[in-house]
Amino acid sequence: MIRPFPSRRVVNTALLPLAMLAAGCASIQGDRLLGAITPYRIDVMQGNVVTKELASNVKPGMTREQVRDLLGSPLLTSAFHADRWDYVFTMRRQGVEPQRRSVVAFFKGDVLERLEVPELPSEKDFVSSIRPARATSGPLPVLALTDEQRMALPPPIKGESTAAVQPQGAIRPYPPLEPR
């Protein structure tokens, strides 16, 4: 006699690996896999790093270009909020609580009206927070040149400027993007 459906034994044998896979997925909690294995997770740093020192240099009344020169290009700009720039920074590292900071610049026309700044780390605190755990025993890297080191630098070459450097290859004139 031929059975139209597979036997219970065949069905149970086929479902057993599926049930084990589902149970394995449910046992992943946090950074641990099956209670013993810790998978490798890459460090993810995104956005603009704004420190206390950088934020203290930005003053109301500055132009957009001056703010961009100090803080960099904003991570978020919106066509619906043209007078708002968002400088967002996120960092995720294995074994460390994720960090997220957001500095918001508000403009009136082309002039900075105000800068909303949360509690920010200093440059030294930020550098020490991103150093790998194995490198915490040594001294922090030097962030600025001393006066003696600055004086020891070679003087800039006179007569040559970056504006005088011509691009390589054929130069094609393009029509202007906006009418004059």
Contact 90, 107 (CB under 8 A): no
| DSSP code string of 26-90 | HT-BTTBBTTTB------EEEE----HHHHHH--TT-BHHHHHHHH-S-SEE-SS-TTEEEEEEE
Residue 21: partners with Cβ closer than 8 Å, 6 or more residues away: none
Reduced to 3 states (helix: H, G, I; strand: E, B; else coil), residue 124 is: helix
Phi-psi region of 72 (alpha: psi -120 to 50; beta: other; left: phi over 0): left
pTM higher than 0.85 for the full model? Answer: no
Pick the closest to residue 70 from 56, 83, 91 (CA basis). Answer: 56
Helix (H) or strand (E) holding 116: strand 111-116
Q: 10 Å Cβ neighbour count for 85?
A: 24
40-129 CATH fold: Beta-lactamase Inhibitory Protein; Chain:B, domain 1 (3.30.1450)
Per-position pLDDT tens, the chain of length 180 = 565 666 777 767 777 777 776 665 544 455 555 567 777 778 888 888 899 999 999 999 999 999 999 999 888 788 888 899 999 999 888 777 788 999 999 999 899 999 999 899 888 888 877 766 555 566 767 778 889 998 999 888 776 555 555 556 666 677 777 776
Question: Domain extents for the chain?
Answer: 40-129
DSSP state of 162: G
